[in-house]
Amino acid sequence: MVSRLLSSLSQHQIGFLLMLVTVMCFPAMDTVAKILTQTQPVLQVVWARYAGQFLLLLIVFAPHLKRVMHTRYLGLQLARSAALFSATICFFTSLFYLDQGLATAIFQVAPLVITILAVLFLGETIGMRRIVCLLVGFVGAMIIIQPQSSSFSLASLLPLCAASLYASYSILTRFLGPSEDARTTLFYTAGCGAIASSLILPFVWVMPDSGITILLMLSMSLFGSIGHYSLILALNKVSATDLAPVNYLTLVFAMIWGLLLFNEVPSAATLSGSALIVGSGLYLWQRTRSLEQEKTSR
């Protein structure tokens, strides 16, 4: 039944379905992280996220491990992996203090930060409309964070730090380009995080208090592995530019999980700020897509 349905879909449609799996898995992983950080150290939760995924990749890639491990850009792979590892620490820490929907909403500035870094380090140029768009997204983030409010918390800056680190990771990944095997990139991403967190683990280890906690820790690697693998498959079928808008569904699923499991109701500031960030991000996507189409039509 499933195979018949998939055979009737185009590669483009399958790519979007795979991306939908990705944006469902990542908020689910964040939800589990939020539950675990209530009883486990954040760095132990980060270890569970990376170590399980790396172990799974070692099993899957075992027949071709030597080929997968080979890279011509070891320094670049380590730098981008360190950036993502640091982003994970910042975001998981924010989940201990903030509502999941709020943390995810602030994190949505990542595409805007990527645009800024692309101008600074990749030599890309942007027009006045895109500059205004970046400013609108920044205003949206400030509406959510509310630095002038008495309820402001420094923890609100953690998802912003995570977004900036993730943007750095994305820019470094662009430097790799298509010359590096996606399996190699995935291997180093998980491997560096697993090794770094394992070195820290003895200093923060707290024995899980129940079998459910252990299962939740295992589920993190499952959600992370499925999410990343679906993303790679999706990008093999559909361009990153076309898939970009689907990423904003992450915010929707995060708010749904937050409401169902933690009784988190998004505030008016969170919703309005999110609308500005998502709107500016979608406009940037539309402009980027239009410019790419103009270049290909020449």
Degrees to nearest 5, angle at CA 238 with 237 and 240: 130
Do 104 and 27 form a contact (C-beta atoms < 8 A)? yes
d(CA 291, CA 208): 52
Please list the alpha-helical segments (H only) found in 62-181. 65-69, 74-97, 100-107, 110-121, 128-145, 157-176
Q: What is the pLDDT along the chain (298 residues), one digit of tens a residue?
A: 445 655 666 777 787 888 888 889 999 999 999 999 999 999 999 999 999 889 988 988 888 888 989 898 899 999 999 999 999 999 999 999 999 999 999 998 888 888 888 788 877 777 787 788 888 888 888 888 877 666 668 888 999 999 999 889 888 887 776 677 878 888 998 999 999 999 999 999 999 888 899 999 989 888 988 887 787 778 777 766 667 677 788 888 899 999 999 999 988 888 998 888 888 878 777 766 666 666 665 5
Q: Write down the residue that tokens 């309820």 correspond to.
A: 151
Quick one: how far is CA 140 from the chain centroid? Answer: 19
Q: What is the pLDDT of residue 79?
A: 94
CA distances from 148 to 90, 154, 168, 277 (A): 22, 12, 28, 19
d(CA 36, CA 44): 9
| The two three-digit tokens of residue 155, written as one number | 């923890």
Instruction: Report pTM.
Output: 0.86
Please list the alpha-helical segments (H only) found in the chain. 2-7, 11-36, 42-61, 65-69, 74-97, 100-107, 110-121, 128-145, 157-176, 182-204, 211-237, 240-243, 249-262, 268-297
Q: What is the pLDDT of residue 158?
A: 95
Q: Among residues 25, 17, 9, which one has the least CA distance to residue 257?
A: 25
| The two three-digit tokens of residue 2, written as one number | 């499933």
Q: What is the pLDDT of residue 245?
A: 73
